Amino acid sequence: MLKKPLLFAALVLLSPVHASAIEGEKTVFQSPGAEKSRLVINGVTDADAIKPLILDFQQLAPDVTVEFNDYVSNDLFREAERACSTGQNYGDLLISSSADQLVKLANDGCAIPHSSAETDALASWANWRNEVFGFVFEPAVIVYDASRVPQADVPRSHADIADLLRRKPEDYRNRIGTYNIQLSGVGYLLAFHDALQAPTIYGRLLESFSRAEVVTGCCNNEVLDQIASGRLRIAYNILGSYAYAAFLKNPNLRVVIPRDYALILPRAALIPVKSQQTDLARRFIDYLLSSRGKTVAREKAFFLSEDDPLPEGVEGPASLIESGIGRPIRIGPALLAAQDRATRERFIRNWTALFTALDP
Amino acid sequence: MRILLVEDTHDVGEAISRRFETTGHTVDWQTDGRAASEILDFTDYDLVILDVMLPGLDGFEILKRLRQNRNAVPVMVLTARSEIDDRVSALDLGADDYLVKPFDFRELEARARVLLRRRSGGEATNVIACGDVMLDRTNRSVHVGKREVQLKRREMTLLEILASRPGRVFSKDQLLDQIFGFDEPAGPNAIELYVGRLRKKLEGAKARIVTVRGLGYQLVSDDQD
Amino acid sequence: MALVINWCLMTKTRRSLFYRLVVRVALVLFVGAAVLITAAWFYAKAAADEAYDRLLQGAAIQILDGLSVEDGRIGINLPPAAFELLGQAPRDRIFYRVVLPDGLTLTGYDDLAPSVDLTPARSGPVFFSEDYRNVPLRIGIVGRAISEAAAGGWAYVLVGQTTEARKEFVTELTTRALVIVLIMSALALAGTALAIRYSLRPVNQLGDMLLRRDPQDLTPLSVAVPGELSPFVDSINHFMRRLDERVRLLQRFIADSAHQIRTPLTALSAQVSLIHEDALSDNDRRHLERVKDRAGELAHFTGQLLNHAMVIHRFDSAQLGPLDVTEIARKAFRAAVPITIDPDTVVSFEGPDETLIVLGDGLSLREAIVNIIDNSLRHGTRFKLDVRVLKRGNFALVEVEDDGPGIPPADWGQVTKRFVSSKSGSGSSGLGFAIASEVAIALRGGLSFREKTPEKGFTVVLELPLHAEMTS
């Protein structure tokens, strides 16, 4: 039981470079051998989360130095769009959990196609045009502080959250957190799909969030930090990997996969059209999609996947997809609707209108 | 001998007449068929030489008439072979011999002589045998076993003499007398010559001519040895 | 040289009928196939356009459904279902533009088909193709009348898609059609080739039959041929009939000419025979000898011409009947051996024990044997001539053997041809063997030779098949 956190800690301590997980920051993973080339990855993910994968990849390619730049999803998207329209280089590989943004980039002709045995093996909803690839699928989960939330209150479904907030508004006023969907691409994507999946419940949820004066943050870690610090008690629509990592650090936290439905969010990769290391980018993608990569991802990086059994400490159905609870967000043109500017503006406007509180 | 020649081509007729007259025969030469036929009705001849294509009556008609009148005079036909369908053979109509034009005149003479001799000689047609040698006077040949060998006239006569008495020795003079007539001169080795020829022609026979030194010749059959 | 050219021409014409037909049919099939495939391509393209245009239309309609008016302003909630619909073409990129009644773009790709006239879309969906961002797009426009008071008018949605799915569709359909058309064409071609070959068989058969014919055979062809060939057969028969007539006329002319020559020739011989040799000088005597020789040759040759004519004629008209070979041979022997032959020559005749019956014509058989004997006497015999008739197997053989040098085997093939020297260098040509050979062949037998050996002399063999009744 303690092995995993120890392992995690060891990895963190033993990493040869100073890895500080600040979003938007550069982290360089020096090549284990003599450096022959450098792969620049711009991504929307924790460097810590992706580190095990990069290190393992460098076992296979010891002459490659990997530079990883951590961004907020909207920033990444904006930069990528600008670079694409002006014909400039912006990284060799893009990784983001805002799959809709990558699909929009691909639709606008900003991606280089790549096909290989690994990409051919992907399901059709994890691969669009051989330009956008989904390589990790994690559920959007509910995180709560077990020391502050009584068992009876533990929400196990979306409806439960709405009910809880209606029943005990005082207990949880300003104590529940989620994304500011204007700032967070992932948050927007999840909210958009919540509205699609269960429009009625979504409406009720929003309404109850509004009344409970929900706290919004820009990103996963910000919200999770606030739970860890005791400020928040419940966090909604957190990415499973972050949630689990937090759980490992703080045993008080618990991770719940909603029972009524759980959105499964892919992390996607794309090779931008002005990439300068297309071969390396292709190799990295193939690595991510390989069984070795998937194993490392499950055991060390993202912990949760769409069809493997849940690790200990996570509450939820045995198999997400098979049980019918998991609802994968498909990588495909349907995501373009989410990126339509008028639609997006209206969605955010409606959402914002219900909240008076913004990022504290 | 008296010969009737019926021939309308002048050159040919002249040649034939002259030839036979030189050898001492009398030749009556007719150029017209009808005239010739009438002459035959009341004149006897030893030989008729008959051309087929004639003015007046054609040769075959004359022949037919001749035989109808039971006139057995020997007839030699000079046939034209111009009839494309030769259904009628000269011999069938009663001719004794025929020659095809153009012919060798010596051949004509020789065959005429045969016919004339037949007329005068009245040769018996019996066949004499000795061993496996059989004489055939009609065809003037000798059968040696199955083989039939042609003989000349004198060879035939010689063989006849020797075969008439097999085993008997005939002297040269005797043979000379019988084979050659008064008016036919014979050289000193004539008999040797003829015996030699005869021997050649009797090769393979079961009878042979034996020379008896100083005495003459004999015909001996192999069984008799 | 002429032979080579002739052969080339012959081969060329022989090849072309079948190949020409097949090539023409192949050409027609090829053109037909090309037309069909092009038609298939057009059809597939039209089908693809129609099918995928419907998708565009459906998506556009769904997008229009997402329009709503709030506070006098038109807003949109794009239904993801519209794009899912377009996602039926899984690889194609999607571009769209929503246009408000005032002409401004509400949302989408602002630069999508900016100059197109939208008003025709009021009466129904409009589809067209245009390039956008360097890729060919297929764009559909659907319009809807917004009847809200404040913001009324026509709103339009342009939905465009790249054409990869369409192209794949067209390619797949066309490829399938191509395969089917090719298979059908191949089958048709094969079937036609077989049919043509089969139909041309009568032509080949006719050709074979003509080839196999005896060159002397001028009897009319009796063969069943299809209607198209009967003019050929008729004209061949007509031609052969005319040729036959000419040949007959020619033969008759030869016979008549020989016959006409006969009389003056006899007269010539007669006159020559009257010349008194004694009265001549030595020179003149020599010349006379030569004249006699030449006259003799002339006479011999004329006789042979007549013989030949007669023999040929007999085979045209005479019926074949059973003959006793031995008797005929004997008659020939007696007729052919002149009385004036050299007395030192031994001539003999030997017949078989049994009677040998063949089917033939007596006169021509006799002439044939006479010719053989005559030839031996003239050119072969020194002191011996043997004539034999015997039975060997199912054949009757008439052998004429002489003790002369014989004919060298190299010449055997030539000797039976007309007018070839039967004795090399002797200067005498003749028809003798030709006649004998023709008679033998006409009676279904043959003429052959046997080389001289130390035991036996050179032999000419006339072979005739025994009459069937005998052999059974």
Q: Do A333 and C87 touch (CB under 8 A)?
A: yes
* pLDDT interval class at C422 (50, 70, 90): very low
User: pLDDT of chain B along its 225 residues, tens only?
Assistant: 789 999 988 888 988 998 888 888 889 999 998 999 889 888 888 899 998 888 888 888 888 888 888 888 889 988 766 544 454 577 777 888 888 788 888 888 888 888 887 766 655 556 667 778 888 777 778 888 888 888 888 888 888 888 888 888 888 888 887 787 766 777 778 888 888 988 888 888 888 888 888 888 888 887 765
Do residue A257 and residue A270 come from a single domain? no
When pLDDT is averaged across residues C125-154 and rounded to a whole number, the result is 86
Q: What is the pLDDT of residue C12?
A: 55
With CA atoms as reference, the chain C residue closest to A337 would be C80
Residues A177 and A252 in one domain: yes
Residues whose CB falls within 8 Å of the CB of residue C188, separated by 6 or more in sequence, listed in order = C25, C29
Crossing angle for the helix pair C201-212 and C230-274, to the nearest 10 degrees: 10
Asked whether the bond before B55 is cis by omega within 30 degrees of 0, the reply is no
Q: Does residue A72 share a domain with residue A40?
A: yes
Q: A125 and A98: one domain? A: yes
Shortest CA gap B209–chain C (Å): 17
- Kindly state whether residue A321 falls inside one of the protein's structural domains: no
Query: In terms of domains, do A52 and A73 share one?
Result: yes
Of the given ranges (A50-59, A69-78, A171-180, C249-258), which has the lowest mean pLDDT? C249-258
- Say if residue C215 is exposed, middle or buried (CB neighbours under 10 Å; 0-12, 13-18, 19+): exposed
Q: Which pLDDT does position A335 carry in this prediction? A: 92
Task: Please compute the mean of the pLDDT values over residues A126-155 and round it to a whole number.
Answer: 90
User: How many structural domains are present in chain A?
Assistant: 2
Nearest to A334 among C75, C87, C93 (CB): C87
Each residue's pLDDT tens digit, C340-368: 888 888 898 998 888 888 888 888 888 88
Looking at residues C14-25, what average pLDDT do you find? 80
Chain C hits for A337, CB-CB cut-off 8 Å, are 78-80, 82-83
Residue that wins the pLDDT comparison between C448 and B90: C448
Of C269, C340, C341, the CB nearest to B102: C269
Residue of C nearest to A329 (CA): C80
Residue A7 within any structural domain of the chain = no
Return the CATH number at A169: 3.40.190.10
Confidence of residue C10 (pLDDT cuts 50, 70, 90): low
| Per-state percent for chain B, helix, strand, coil, to nearest 5 | 40, 25, 40
Q: Give C400's contacts (C-beta < 8 A, 6+ positions apart).
A: C369, C372, C373, C376, C385, C386, C387, C459, C460, C462
Contact B25, B2 (CB under 8 A): yes
Q: Among candidates B111, B109, B115, B107, which has minimal Cα distance to B18?
A: B109
Element (H, E) at B135: strand B133-136
In this complex, do A343 and C76 lie within 8 Å of one another by their Cβ atoms?
A: yes
Domain residues for A88? Answer: 16-137+266-316
Contacting residues of C for A108, CB less than 8 Å apart: 133
Q: By three-state DSSP, how is residue C26 classified?
A: helix
A207 and A351 together in one domain: yes
How high is the pLDDT of residue C342?
Answer: 84
Chain B residues in contact with C387 by the CB 8 A cut-off are none
Same domain, A272 and A187: no
Residues within 8 A of C (CB atoms), A 144-163 only: none
Using a CB–CB cut-off of 8 Å, the residues of B that contact C are: 9-16, 18-19, 80-82, 84-86, 100-107, 110-111, 114, 139, 141, 144, 146-150, 152, 155, 197, 200-201, 203
| Closest CB to B150 among C302, C313, C337 | C337
- CA-based nearest residue in chain C for residue B156: C343
Q: What is the pTM of this model?
A: 0.58
Contact C94 A196 (CB under 8 A): no
Query: Confidence band (pLDDT; 50, 70, 90) for A4?
Result: low
Residue C6 has pLDDT above 70, yes or no: no
Q: Are residues A232 and A297 in the same domain?
A: no
A334 touches chain C (CB under 8 A): yes
If asked whether residues A214 and A345 sit together in one domain, one would say yes
Kindly state the helix (H) or strand (E) to which residue C186 belongs, with its residue range.
helix C164-199
Identify from A103, A124, A340, A350 which residue to disrupt to test chain C contact, counting C C-beta atoms within 10 A and taking the largest count. A340
Residue A23 reports pLDDT greater than 60: no
Task: Determine contact, residues C439/C364, Cβ cutoff 8 Å.
Answer: yes
- Residue A214 covered by a domain: yes
* Residue A15's pLDDT band (cuts 50, 70, 90): very low
- Report the alpha-carbon distance of residue C370 to residue C389 in Å, rounded: 14
Percent over 90 (pLDDT), chain C:
24
Is A347 found in the same domain as A298? no
Has residue A180 been placed in a domain?
yes
Give the pLDDT band (50/70/90) at residue A21: very low
Evaluate whether residue A10 is within a structural domain.
no
Q: Which of A345, A354, A346, A350 is nearest to A214 (CA)?
A: A354
Q: ipTM of this predicted complex?
A: 0.81
A109, part of any domain = yes
Percent of chain C past pLDDT 70, that is, above it, reads 91
Q: Answer whether A343 sits within 8 Å of C135, measured CB to CB.
A: no
The residues, ordered by sequence, that sit 6+ positions from A48 with a Cβ below 8 Å of its Cβ are A12, A19, A21, A245
Mean of pLDDT values over C256-285: 82
Across the interface, do C350 and B18 touch by the CB < 8 Å criterion?
no
What is the model's pLDDT at position C34?
Answer: 92
Does one domain contain both A258 and A273?
no
Assigned domain for A273 exists:
yes
Q: CB distance C107–A341 less than 8 Å?
A: yes
Mean pLDDT of A267-273: 93
Residue A238: inside a domain: yes
The whole-number pLDDT of residue C219 equals 78
What pLDDT does residue A20 have?
30
Do A253 and A200 belong to one domain?
A: yes
Measured on CA atoms in the order A323, A328, A333, A338, is the torsion positive or negative? Answer: positive
Does C226 have pLDDT greater than 70? yes
Helix (H, G, I), strand (E, B) or coil at C159: strand
> Taking Cα atoms as reference points, which of C352, C354, C335 lies closest to residue C398?
C352
